[in-house]
């Protein structure tokens, strides 16, 4: 049953992983700086390394990064596929903010009531 419930769980994991500034910053560092060992990432944070290790685990579990061992280092790499799924999730909402930005929805949606301007 690789059905609907499974997808929800995956989305939970991805959104939850993104709901943290440190983890988003890790993704940005991997995006802008390319694959890096943990040490290099850790330099950017005011946090003990084991804590960062746990953030990396969250990102790994969400499929947002992968690790590749190289000697005693582990090179982390951005894996953007789950972000593509986030974009897919966003798609059906797109027309709502486009409407809003055109300034049409603002008026149309609020018509039904309100007489005291």
Applying CB under 7 A, the residues found at the interface with DNA are 16, 19-20, 22, 37-39, 42, 47-51, 53-58, 67, 69, 71-74
6/32 Cα distance (integer angstroms): 31
Q: Copy the structure tokens of residue 19.
A: 């709901």
41/32 Cα distance (integer angstroms): 12
Residues 6+ apart with CB under 8 A from 89: 11
Binding partner at 10 among DNA, its own copies, none, C-beta below 5 to 8 Å by kind: none
User: What residues make contact with its own copies under the rule CB under 8 A?
Assistant: 8, 11-12, 15-16, 18-21, 24, 27-28, 31, 34-35, 68, 70, 77-78, 80-81, 83-84, 86-87, 89-90, 92-94, 96-97, 100-101, 109-110, 113-114
Q: Are 60 and 17 in contact (CB under 8 A)?
A: no
Q: The tokens 């969400």 sit on which residue?
A: 62
Binding partner at 83 among its own copies, DNA, none, C-beta below 5 to 8 Å by kind: its own copies
Q: From the CB of 68, what's the least distance to DNA, in Å?
A: 11
Q: From the CB of 104, what's the least distance to DNA, in Å?
A: 26
Q: From the CB of 102, what's the least distance to DNA, in Å?
A: 29
Per-residue b or e along 106-116, where b marks 16 or more CB atoms closer than 10 Å to that residue's CB: eeeeeeeeeee
């Amino acid at each position: 049953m690789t059905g609907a419930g499974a997808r929800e769980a995956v989305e939970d994991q991805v959104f939850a992983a993104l709901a943290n500034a440190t983890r988003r910053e890790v993704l940005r560092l991997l995006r802008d700086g390319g694959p890096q060992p943990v040490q290099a990432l850790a330099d950017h944070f005011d946090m003990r390394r084991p804590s960062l290790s746990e953030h990396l685990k969250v990102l790994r579990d969400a499929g947002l990064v992968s690790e590749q061992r190289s000697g005693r280092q582990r090179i982390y790499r951005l894996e953007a596929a789950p972000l593509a799924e986030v974009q897919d999730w966003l798609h059906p909402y797109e027309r709502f903010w486009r409407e809003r930005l055109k300034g049409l929805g603002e008026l149309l949606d609020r018509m039904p009531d309100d007489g005291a301007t």
